[in-house]
Amino acid sequence: MNIIVVGGAGFLGSHLCDALVRKGDRVLCIDNLITGNKENVVHLVKSRNFIFIEEDIITCEVEKKLLFTPDIVFHLASPASPKDYVKFPIETLLVNSIGTKKCLDLCLKTGAKFLFTSTSEVYGDPLTSPQKEDYWGNVNPIGPRSMYDEAKRFGEAITMAYHKKYGIKTYLPRIFNTYGPRMRLDDGRVIPNFISQAIKGEPLTVYGDGKQTRSFCYVDDLIRGLLMLVESNYHMPVNLGNPEEFTILELAEKIRNITRTNIQIEFLPPLPDDPRKRKPDIELAKNLLGWEPTINLDDGLTKTLSYYTGKTS
């Protein structure tokens, strides 16, 4: 198939491009590189089935860049870590609003399917756990994370509006915490933070009491879920994540175990609006797609650490 991946040089986007090229699809990758990295896809440039364009989807005249009529457009372009979307608040809001509309308009003209990568952050600081797709969330619309939370909620809304009004085949995966090779070690999220600190022999910094929970999905499992979703005829939101729940302190202990160190844990003040619970209910993905994660946290962390120690050795 002919596929456009917007944000294809980012962490998730580059792994998606890998998977698509491996199965023989022709991929046009569009990325402005504000949080992505061309090194993530440089190995693909040699392939005749891969084209990279450094452009901002907000301002890019996409139709003039096309070398083919797309079958699917994947929209993964957005800062995704608190550190990044605080640094780029307007860009985050615009890429998920104007950028999403531009992708949808392209799909409307070409008949392509459209997948918008939403997020567990649409649930905000949830008052119920695990989070099911029919939970409307507990979100602060003007808080320190609002530029991301509300941008993704708008992205879902406009995607659903185009689906209902024009009949476009659309998909709304809500992605929970995902990790693996190619995450920027300075992106501010907890796993790259801990790995970076462990490699440097620095204390592992825990915000608050460390009892807040997260559920971590290895990137290969997540990409497999995205590819299965676009083969379905389901257009409502679908949670994709690993339902195994760990406290941040438990994660810190796992990092100490796999690095075989006794690095200290340093407690810092809690982050504002930091969710206390984050655990997906994935029954819908299991029943609809036959999808569930297969890589446990210990194995995934070992793979991820090996990637970074290999790059620094």
Res 198: pLDDT: 92
Alpha carbon 124 to its chain's center: 16
79 domain-assigned: yes
Which pLDDT tens digit goes with each residue over 282-291?
999 999 999 9
**Residues 117, 119, 123, 124: is their CA dihedral positive or negative?**
negative
197 domain-assigned: no
Cα-flanking dihedrals φ and ψ of residue 232, to 5°? Answer: -95, 175
How many structural domains are present in the chain? 1
185 domain-assigned: no
Mean pLDDT score of the chain, rounded to an integer?
A: 94
Looking at the chain, the whole-number percentage of residues with pLDDT higher than 90 is: 88
- Give the domain CATH number at 238: 3.40.50.720
Average pLDDT over residues 237-248: 96
8 domain-assigned: yes
Res 313: pLDDT: 43
DSSP 122-160: GGBS-SSSSBPTT---B--TTSTTHHHHHHHHHHHHHHH
40 domain-assigned: yes
163 domain-assigned: yes
312 domain-assigned: no
In the block, residue with structure tokens 């302190």: 249
Give the H/E segment covering residue 267. Answer: strand 265-268
Domain enclosing residue 21, as ranges:
2-179+216-242+280-293
Average pLDDT over residues 117-140: 94
Catalytic residues: 148
Which pLDDT tens digit goes with each residue over 11-65?
999 999 999 999 999 999 999 999 999 999 999 999 999 999 999 999 998 888 8
Res 104: pLDDT: 98
Average pLDDT over residues 203-220: 94
Looking at the chain, the whole-number percentage of residues with pLDDT higher than 70 is: 99
- Residue 28 tokens read as 């046009």
Burial class (CB in 10 A: 0-12, 13-18, 19+), 87: middle
253 domain-assigned: no
CB 290 within 8 A of CB 227: no
